[in-house]
């Protein structure tokens, strides 16, 4: 939900500043934001009713790439997704791992923009026969000490619940790097 709200709010702020100078562009962007919010609302409803994560018929790579692209578009952030290795077979990544990585990506993108004010984010997804690893690196403000709030704690619980690890590295004025690694036997 935080991902959807942050993307929508930042997008609406951009529309607000464009209304006087480029009303046609602002109107088109507002229409996109309404659809994005509507999709986010449906996603929340599905999760509340404990249905499978949305778009579970897609490969993990495609799902993560679409989340990154939507976030980049709605927040005017340059987001790049890089993939090393291959998903063994599309659609066989265990659902528990899919959900954990999707939620972690959403939280990482949201934090990079909201707290770090990042303008560029790189998402690196690495597949090995033993594990899946996702690294999210931003060019935001960074911090010498990260205070884990609800989102980071929930992310860590998801990852460690699958026998995985989560590492965060951040330096003031040098951005933040977050890496989640999950063994494939976890799902």
Percent above pLDDT 90 for the chain: 46
Pairing of strands 78-84, 131-138: unpaired
Other Cβ atoms less than 10 A from the Cβ of 161: the count is: 12
Partnered with residue 165 across adjacent β-strands are 181
Could you give the residue ranges of the DSSP H alpha helices within 49-184? 60-75, 95-114, 150-160
Structure-model confidence comparison of residues 106 and 48, the more confident one: 106
pLDDT classification of 2: cutoffs 50, 70, 90: low
Residue 87 predicted with pLDDT over 70: yes
Strands, DSSP E only, in the chain?
78-84, 120-127, 131-138, 165-171, 175-183
- Which residues in 69-92 are b (16+ Cβ under 10 Å) and which e? ebbbebbebebebeeeeebeeeee
- Cα angle 44-108-148, degrees, rounded to a multiple of 5: 100
Q: What is the CA radius of gyration of the chain?
A: 17
Kindly report the average pLDDT of the chain as a whole number. Answer: 85
- pLDDT tens, 112-150? 998 899 999 999 999 999 999 999 999 999 988 887 778
Lowest mean pLDDT of 57-66, 87-96, 109-118, 157-166, name the range: 87-96
Q: Give the total residue count for the chain.
A: 187
Look up the pTM and report it. 0.70
């Amino acid at each position: 939900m935080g991902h959807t709200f942050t993307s929508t709010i930042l997008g609406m702020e951009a529309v607000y500043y464009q209304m006087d100078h480029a009303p046609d562009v602002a109107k088109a962007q507002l229409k996109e934001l309404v659809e994005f919010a509507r999709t986010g609302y449906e996603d929340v409803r599905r999760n509340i009713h404990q249905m499978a994560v949305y778009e579970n018929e897609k490969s993990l790579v495609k799902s993560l790439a679409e989340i990154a692209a939507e976030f980049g578009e709605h927040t005017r952030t340059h987001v790049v997704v890089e993939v090393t290795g291959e998903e063994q077979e599309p659609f066989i990544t265990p659902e528990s791992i899919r959900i954990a990585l999707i939620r972690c990506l959403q939280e990482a993108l949201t934090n990079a923009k909201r707290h770090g004010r990042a303008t560029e984010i790189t998402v690196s997804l690495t597949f090995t026969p033993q594990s899946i690893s996702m690294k999210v690196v931003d060019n935001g403000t960074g911090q010498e000490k990260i205070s884990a709030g609800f989102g980071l704690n929930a992310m860590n619980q998801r990852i460690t619940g699958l026998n995985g690890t989560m590492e965060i590295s951040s330096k003031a004025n040098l951005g933040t790097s977050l890496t989640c690694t999950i063994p494939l036997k976890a799902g």
